[in-house]
């Protein structure tokens, strides 16, 4: 093979004009997505200079469903099934936040046992979501065992939630005023049994995935996000905690019974892809302890739900409440004009805020590191588009 | 961590699973067991009874044709329609009962919460697939039938791991 200089010399000798390539010509624009080559229903264009990404332009909106507008045409209870559709894997946390906002608006008190049950359901659902995310993260780094194991172990928690709520994925369990049904017989034993087994499995996850030198080499030091940048960009959840900010809504703005539960906020200081993928794992571990403590402190019997009027309507006003979901802060801002249907519902999701960090993180990285950065953001396209 | 020991540990933890019984189960030869007889609701206490939310069951002797289930479904899936039935019940003067389209139903169970007469509950039956859309529409007569669903496996955890058995 002749070198470039030799080729140019050859061209000159033949009497042809040599066109020097400009900076723009060297760059190649690639479109990633939206047909799921590891991006979900989300598209972004990257410009690459050889192997390195020099520019990234996210283009969300492919799965916009108009959830916020739909809320204005349904009453408060009818809103529950469609609101959990954007993130069906984390459906309990979505309706949790919505219920809290409606309760604040209407001034409803939730019975103590009801508060514990929905906190337990929320923690179990966090496991389901994080395991699903971990499975995808594993497969896009080429680790197919890490796809199979979490996808299988998810079944442990789906089974528990199925006993508790009656549905495997879309639970529609939280309702303004509490939860829809009491715990079935023997749920506590079953829950502890599954969690004890699951904690043993988490040790195996660490051996095969997180402490695996192959995984570490692909993620350590990739796309670090500093503490200051993380705060400036407004990222939330595990991405923020990975950059060294111990910020968790369960600790900062405790809702329901979380102020009685003693737990640690899990965070790391490096802020690279490894930290962003390891913090959700630490959260899963901590979540197991939280479920145990919740089960210990839960009252043995009592009401679980405050009965509402058939077509509940609140006084005119507004409320905002947020919870810590699998992807960070998830808030609902509800404005009511005194009718059964909300006047306006605004959903503030963690996914969208984490996505904003993507253009900053991808620049300067190799194209092959793109999945390691993209999935570490804990981003769920359907939730971001709403 | 040392690179070599990291690899050895990863391979060790993976190869352990060659001798452990697998977690998956053989559907449809085996089927999952559920707790209870499906989701029910107690309107007096205003609280549901835990159970799987599958196909509905309609008790003709209790349904009054009030169409509250249909109203509850209006903004959700619009799967419930009220139809005329050739039955004479004392409590059901209009002789109308719900008909459910399972092509639309999302199994949220809010229609069960809306029923004040213990007439509409849910069952364990989730195997509702059919070749045509018309077969997914269940008439009040079809909804009256108790499902034959029988699950036999559930998750069993012992020292050697978790299996469906």
Model confidence pLDDT, tens digit, residues A291-337: 999 988 888 888 888 888 777 887 888 899 889 888 888 889 999 88
Residue to test with chain B: of A67, A180, A196, most B Cβ within 10 A: A180
Q: What's phi and psi for A12, nearest 5 deg?
A: -60, -45
Residue B157 contacts A, CB cutoff 8 Å: yes
Look at residue A148 in the predicted model and tell me its pLDDT: 87
- Confidence bin at B131 (pLDDT 50/70/90): very high
In a domain, residue A90? The reply is yes
In a domain, residue B58? The reply is yes
**How far apart, in whole angstroms, are the C-alpha atoms of residue B105 and residue A11?**
70
Average pLDDT score over residue span B52-79: 87
User: Do A172 and B109 make contact, defined as CB atoms within 8 angstroms?
Assistant: yes
**How far apart, in whole angstroms, are the C-alpha atoms of residue B87 and residue B95?**
7
**How far apart, in whole angstroms, are the C-alpha atoms of residue A127 and residue A198?**
10
In a domain, residue B153? The reply is no
In a domain, residue B116? The reply is yes
Residue B145 contacts A, CB cutoff 8 Å: no
The CATH number of whichever domain residue A115 belongs to comes to 1.10.645.10
Mean pLDDT of chain B: 85
Look at residue A233 in the predicted model and tell me its pLDDT: 85
**How far apart, in whole angstroms, are the C-alpha atoms of residue A375 and residue A38?**
8
Mean pLDDT of chain A: 85
Average pLDDT score over residue span A261-283: 88
- What 3-state class would DSSP assign to B56? strand
Task: Look at residue A379 and tell me whether its pLDDT is greater than 70.
Answer: yes
Nearest CA in chain B to A171: B108
**DSSP string across B73-88:** HTTTT--EEEEE-S--
In a domain, residue B150? The reply is no
Average pLDDT score over residue span B30-56: 85
Cis peptide bond upstream of B80, omega within 30:
no
In a domain, residue B7? The reply is no
Look at residue A368 in the predicted model and tell me its pLDDT: 85
User: Do B24 and A152 make contact, defined as CB atoms within 8 angstroms?
Assistant: yes
Lowest mean pLDDT among A113-127, A240-254, B143-157: B143-157
Number of domains composing chain A: 1
Q: A37 CB contacts (<8 Å, ≥6 apart)?
A: none
CB A315 within 8 A of CB A336: yes
**How far apart, in whole angstroms, are the C-alpha atoms of residue A335 and residue B25?**
48
**DSSP string across A300-369:** SS---BPPPPSS--PPSEEEEEEEEETTEEEEEEEEE-SSSS-SEEEEE-HHHHHHTTHHHHHTTSBGGG
Q: Around Cβ B11, how many Cβ atoms within 10 Å?
A: 13
Number of domains composing chain B: 1
Q: How far is A379 from chain B (nearest CA, A)?
A: 26
The CATH number of whichever domain residue B82 belongs to comes to 3.30.70.3270
Task: Look at residue A1 and tell me whether its pLDDT is greater than 60.
Answer: no
In a domain, residue A16? The reply is no
Q: How far is B23 from chain A (nearest CA, A)?
A: 7
Q: What's phi and psi for A83, nearest 5 deg?
A: -70, -25
The per-residue pLDDT for range B82-111, each reduced to its tens digit, is: 888 888 888 888 888 889 998 889 888 888
- Determine the structural domain holding residue B97 and report its residue range: 35-144
Average pLDDT score over residue span A58-87: 87
Average pLDDT score over residue span A167-180: 87
Burial class of A368 by CB neighbour count within 10 A (0 to 12, 13 to 18, 19+): exposed
Look at residue A131 in the predicted model and tell me its pLDDT: 92
**How far apart, in whole angstroms, are the C-alpha atoms of residue A352 and residue B118?**
44
- Determine the structural domain holding residue A268 and report its residue range: 67-350
In a domain, residue A47? The reply is no
The per-residue pLDDT for range A18-69, each reduced to its tens digit, is: 666 666 677 888 888 787 666 678 888 888 888 888 888 888 888 888 888 8
Strands (E), B1-147: 40-42, 47-49, 56-58, 80-84, 96-101, 120-122, 137-138
User: Do A211 and B12 make contact, defined as CB atoms within 8 angstroms?
Assistant: no
Print the SS3 string covering A185-232: CCHHHHHHHHHHHHHHHHHHHHHHHHCCHHHHHHHCCCCCCCHHHHHH
Look at residue A21 in the predicted model and tell me its pLDDT: 63
Chain A residues with CB-CB distance to B under 8 A? 73-75, 77-82, 145, 152-153, 155-156, 159, 162-167, 170, 172, 180-185, 193-194, 197, 204, 207-209, 211-213, 216, 303-305, 307
In a domain, residue A15? The reply is no
Contacts of B154 in chain A (CB under 8 A): 159
Contacts of B75 in chain A (CB under 8 A): 73-75, 78-79
Percent of chain B predicted with pLDDT > 70: 99
The per-residue pLDDT for range A111-144, each reduced to its tens digit, is: 888 889 989 999 999 999 999 988 988 888 888 8
Look at residue A20 in the predicted model and tell me its pLDDT: 63
Look at residue A2 in the predicted model and tell me its pLDDT: 65
Q: Around Cβ B29, how many Cβ atoms within 10 Å?
A: 8
The per-residue pLDDT for range A185-226, each reduced to its tens digit, is: 888 888 898 898 888 888 888 888 888 888 888 888 888 888
Cis peptide bond upstream of B82, omega within 30:
no
Look at residue A38 in the predicted model and tell me its pLDDT: 64
- Indicate the DSSP class of residue A108: P
In a domain, residue A365? The reply is no
């Amino acid at each position: 093979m002749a070198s470039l200089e030799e080729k140019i010399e050859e061209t000159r000798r033949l009497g042809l004009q040599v066109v020097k390539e400009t900076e723009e010509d060297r760059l190649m624009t690639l479109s990633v997505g939206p047909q799921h080559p590891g991006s979900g229903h989300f598209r972004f264009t990257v410009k690459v200079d050889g192997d390195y990404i020099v520019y990234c332009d996210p283009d969300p909106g492919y799965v916009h469903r108009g959830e916020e507008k739909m809320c204005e045409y349904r009453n408060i209870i009818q809103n529950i099934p469609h609101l959990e559709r954007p993130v069906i894997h984390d459906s309990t946390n979505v309706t949790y936040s919505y219920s809290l906002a409606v309760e604040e608006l209407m001034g409803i008190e939730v019975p103590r046992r009801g508060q514990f049950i929905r906190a337990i359901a929320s923690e179990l659902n966090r496991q389901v979501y994080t395991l699903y995310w971990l499975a995808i993260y594993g497969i896009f780094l080429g680790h197919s065992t890490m796809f199979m194991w979490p996808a299988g172990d998810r079944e442990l928690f789906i089974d528990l939630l199925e006993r508790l709520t009656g549905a495997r994925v879309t639970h529609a369990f939280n309702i303004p005023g509490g939860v829809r049904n009491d715990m079935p017989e023997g749920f506590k034993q079953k829950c502890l049994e599954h969690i004890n087994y699951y904690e043993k499995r988490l040790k195996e996850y660490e051996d095969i995935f997180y402490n695996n030198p192959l995984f570490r080499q692909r993620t350590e030091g990739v796309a670090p996000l500093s503490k200051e940048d993380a705060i400036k960009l407004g990222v939330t959840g595990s991405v923020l905690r990975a950059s060294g900010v111990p910020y968790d809504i369960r600790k900062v703005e405790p809702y329901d019974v979380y102020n009685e539960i003693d737990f640690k906020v899990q965070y790391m200081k490096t802020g690279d892809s490894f930290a962003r993928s390891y913090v959700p794992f630490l959260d899963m571990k901590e979540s197991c302890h939280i479920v145990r403590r919740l089960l210990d402190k839960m009252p043995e019997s009592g009401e679980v739900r405050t009965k509402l009027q058939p077509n509940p309507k609140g006084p005119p006003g507004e409320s905002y409440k947020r919870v810590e979901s699998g992807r960070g802060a998830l808030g609902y801002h509800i404005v009511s004009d005194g009718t059964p249907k909300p006047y306006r519902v605004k959903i503030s999701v963690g996914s969208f805020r984490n996505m904003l960090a993507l253009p900053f993180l991808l620049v300067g990285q190799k194209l092959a590191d793109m999945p390691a950065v993209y999935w570490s953001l804990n981003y769920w396209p359907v939730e971001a588009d709403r | 961590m040392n690179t070599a020991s990291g690899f050895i540990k990863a391979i060790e933890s993976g190869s352990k699973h060659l001798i452990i019984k697998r977690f998956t189960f053989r559907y449809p030869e085996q089927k999952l067991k559920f707790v209870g007889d499906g989701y029910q609701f107690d309107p007096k206490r205003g609280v549901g009874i835990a159970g799987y939310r599958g196909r509905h069951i309609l008790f003709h002797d209790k349904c009054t044709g009030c169409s509250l289930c249909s109203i509850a479904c209006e903004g959700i899936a619009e799967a419930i329609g009220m139809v005329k039935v050739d039955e004479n019940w004392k409590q059901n003067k209009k002789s109308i009962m719900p008909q459910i389209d399972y092509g639309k139903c999302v199994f949220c169970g809010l229609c069960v919460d809306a029923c004040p007469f213990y007439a509409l509950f849910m069952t364990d039956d989730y195997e509702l697939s059919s070749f045509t859309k018309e077969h997914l529409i269940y008439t009040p007569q079809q909804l009256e039938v108790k499902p034959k669903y029988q699950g036999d496996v559930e998750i069993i955890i012992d020292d050697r791991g978790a299996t469906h058995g």
